[in-house]
Amino acid sequence: MINHWLRYISNIHYKEIDLTLDRISFVANKLNILPLSPFIITISGTNGKGTTCRLIELILLHRGMRVGVYNSPHLIHYKERIRINGKEVNNLIHIKSFNIINYVRKLTLLSYFEFTTLSALYIFSQFKLDVIILEVGLGGRLDATNIVNANLAIITNIDLDHTKFLGLTRNDIAKEKSGIFRSNIVAVIGDSNIPVSIYETADAIGTILYNYKYDWWLIYNNNYWCWQDHNIKLNNLPIPTSIPIKNAAIAIAVINKLPFVITRENICYGLINAWLPGRFNIINVNPYIILDVAHNLHAVKYLVNLLKKLPISGKIHVLIGIFRDKDFAKIINILNPLVDKWYCTNIDHYRSASYIDLIKYTNMNSLSFSNIKDAWYYMINSINYNDVAVVLGSFITVSNIFKIINNKTVFYDNILVSSK
């Protein structure tokens, strides 16, 4: 039933992305869901939004607070997008919300993201929550989540992505992302090279910037690190195993600015337990098999750094399926020096880059496939014990692999083998 609704929602508006707040604000007012009473955190940025959200969520939950989170996109199924107290809500709650929004909107066209954002806000309004964390979908200023006035804003970083909608320079993109700022609130900025438009927006509306200039982290050794700013220092923190330490530092900076008493124990719990699937997700060792939703230059550069730290004695195989509006030529060129064999595939989506275009930029040892499933099985049956296999390029690409693994693949003697 929920899948029927999702197909319907996908076809209400004739555009997948139509950046304006007019339509969603109109329907939100009819729903009477704004303003929301809990403390609101809105998070934008090119990369790291999901992991930063997750760490903040876990720290607050361990503190005993009631927390709602809205993430996008989902990896496996839609219900991942909305969590109440760390758990997905059931189908009936989603369907009730869809029904009410659809009735209230009448003839108002809503994009998929606008509809699902309204659904998240409506669901949050039905629960008694202390904090709501909203992950921005695209940019900030005209993103659907920006109909909500945040009590604290976050920008994790600024890099070139979605340039068609956000602008061609970091300064343009930063201006769009800083659209989530509000007067007299704190905005935590995790980028060490802050574009001038961030400062201009903050000065114009009176936002208080709390940024990376204090060198928020120092790594002592492989087990512990220190978080600090100009007046606080937290020594001997456990190094998170599944999220970038920079994102962890941003999350702690946010915690430092919340109007709640949060303990070191709460923070350590979050650091030890925070992870999200599809973020340098090692699903097998010997051979290493890694799933990563990296789909822009910033994320791929970070992925390359992680790969270089692995004890690799064999070859590196990479399966890539990516959208054509991504800078896939530069992404492939960044990876080329490391990759021994490429598996280029189409994605089952109208925005898919063609494997014909992808293979033009790879090194000579490349294969092409019309679908992700065929590319996956060919790669898995080609790798050896000491090799590394990486899947990247899109949430859709990684999602397809998770579905294949759950249904069609088994592990034997720690080596992944096909069971087609």
Domain boundary assignment for the chain: 2-273, 281-418
Closest by CA position to 331, among listed 346, 341, 320: 320
* pLDDT attached to residue 411: 39
Tell me the helices (H) and strands (E) count for the chain, helix number first: 15, 19
Average pLDDT (378-398) is: 95
Pick from 17-26, 59-68, 306-315 the range whose average pLDDT is largest.
59-68
CB 25 within 8 A of CB 121: no
Percent of the chain whose predicted confidence (pLDDT) is above 90:
70
Band the pLDDT of 230: cuts 50, 70, 90: confident
Mean pLDDT of the chain: 90
Task: Encode pLDDT of 71-117 as tens digits.
Answer: 998 988 999 999 999 999 999 999 999 999 999 999 999 999 999 99
Beta strands per DSSP E along 140-193: 152-155, 186-189
What angle (nearest 5°) sits at the alpha carbon of residue 348, between those of residues 89 and 144?
A: 45
Q: For residue 135, what are the CA distances in angstroms to 71, 257, 365?
A: 5, 18, 39
Beta strands per DSSP E along 257-407: 281-284, 288-291, 316-320, 341-345, 366-369, 388-392
Pick from 85-89, 160-164, 213-217 the range whose average pLDDT is largest.
85-89
Residue length, the chain?
A: 420
Ordered DSSP codes for 180-217: G--TT-EEEE--SS--HHHHHHHHHHT-EEEEGGG--E
CATH architecture of 2-273: 3-Layer(aba) Sandwich (3.40)
* pLDDT attached to residue 275: 87
Task: Encode pLDDT of 171-207 as tens digits.
Answer: 999 998 999 999 999 999 998 889 999 999 999 999 9
* pLDDT attached to residue 418: 36
What angle (nearest 5°) sits at the alpha carbon of residue 26, between those of residues 25 and 28?
A: 60
Out of 2.40.50.1040, 3.30.950.10, 3.90.1010.10, 3.90.190.20, the CATH code matching 281-418 is 3.90.190.20
Band the pLDDT of 371: cuts 50, 70, 90: very high
